Amino acid sequence: MSHLFQPLQLGALALENRIVVAPMCQYSAEDGCATDWHTMHLGTLALSGAGLLITEAAAVSPEGRITPADLGLYSDAAEAALGRVLAAMRRHSPMPVAVQLAHAGRKASSRAPWDGGDQIAPDAPGGWQTEAPSALPHGEGERPPTALDGDGLDRVKRDFAAAAARAARLGLDGIELHGAHGYLLHQFLSPLANRRTDAYGGSLENRMRFPLEVFDAVRAAVPADMPVWMRVSASDWVAGGWDVDGTVALSRQLEARGCAAVHVSSGGVSPHQAIAIGPNYQVGFAATVKRAVSIPVMAVGLITEPEQAEAIVAGGDADAVSLARAMLYDPRWPWHAAAALGAQVRAPKQYWRSQPRAYKDLFRDASFGQR
């Protein structure tokens, strides 16, 4: 029996297997609103047979977007647009769908990666003034962000809570808070980005304070049975930066507050990071966190082969694996993993005739329209 295809609980949310489609920014929204591209993109992934689909980062405010074309969940129009995409998906897929809520902090007001990804100045078309824990730019030559004052901190917390309430109203199955990849919550955690001298800077306890307050605000804004969890960067890959020991401390605090899981990634807060990239290069971080908490832990990091994913879960390094680029390259990755590991996966009846003869028991009914 494949460990990868065993069920998993994220709080009250039951997953049929331990394959998670990770959030992947598409930079294809209009004023924060999902478009037909999102219907196509997410609809494809919703037919993949994974246990959970997490949408791309949805900004909690216009100034929290990475680029002007980021998805948002900060207005009635954005809520309605995402609702239309979800409705289309749910007419044809029973897969649970969660949303990642995010604020880009000092990495906001940027061009899309295919346009270079550089910062757009506040006085340039499409640009705006960024905000962060401290007035420290992300990259050399960039405009410094505005350091958030007390009113700004309260505003950001309200924005997260309001977006969470919209997610609950849409009937999404879970919320992931983006505390990784150098965005606002990660910026508070990392001493490379946080040089504050008040209650939100300095000591580890102080640097964790704001991300934990945001978690508490989101947790309080949604029903008790709606799971909320956080994605974290376990290391800045820079000497003197955020590290796995801090990640363990944060994860324990999150667990005590009712967090449903920890999604462990790394990097993103500094252009000086030196990452040793290779298969499973972040899985060790997940394993360290898993040994420290009792809630589920998701692992990421060049996980591309079914046997590789199976070994991660079977060996106890993580409770689930999260795939991003591998899913874009092969949107049927869970089908192929089930075939390789002797498991079954849900698939739409319209696709059953594609089942190879060698795997005649691979597919089972997706029960579309039964949500």
Spell out the residues 6+ positions from residue 217 whose beta carbon is closer than 8 angstroms to its own. 157, 158, 160, 161, 164
Quote the pLDDT of residue 364: 81
CA 328 to chain centre: 16
For the chain, the structural domain boundaries read 8-365
> What are the tens digits of pLDDT across the range 74-112?
999 999 999 999 999 999 999 999 999 999 999 999 999
Q: How far apart are CA 85 and CA 78, in angstroms?
A: 11
Q: Place 366 in a pLDDT band, splitting at 50, 70 and 90.
A: low
Average pLDDT over residues 327-345: 97
Pick the CATH number of 8-365 from 3.40.605.10, 3.40.250.10, 3.20.20.70, 3.40.30.10: 3.20.20.70
Quote the pLDDT of residue 319: 98
Q: How far apart are CA 130 and CA 138, in angstroms?
A: 11
> What are the tens digits of pLDDT across the range 250-286?
999 999 999 999 999 999 999 999 998 999 999 999 9
Q: How far apart are CA 77 and CA 58, in angstroms?
A: 13
pTM confidence score: 0.96
* Listed range (12-16, 79-83, 355-359) with the worst mean pLDDT: 355-359
Asked whether the predicted pLDDT for residue 171 surpasses 70, the reply is yes
Asked whether the predicted pLDDT for residue 25 surpasses 50, the reply is yes
Which active-site residues does the annotation give? 183
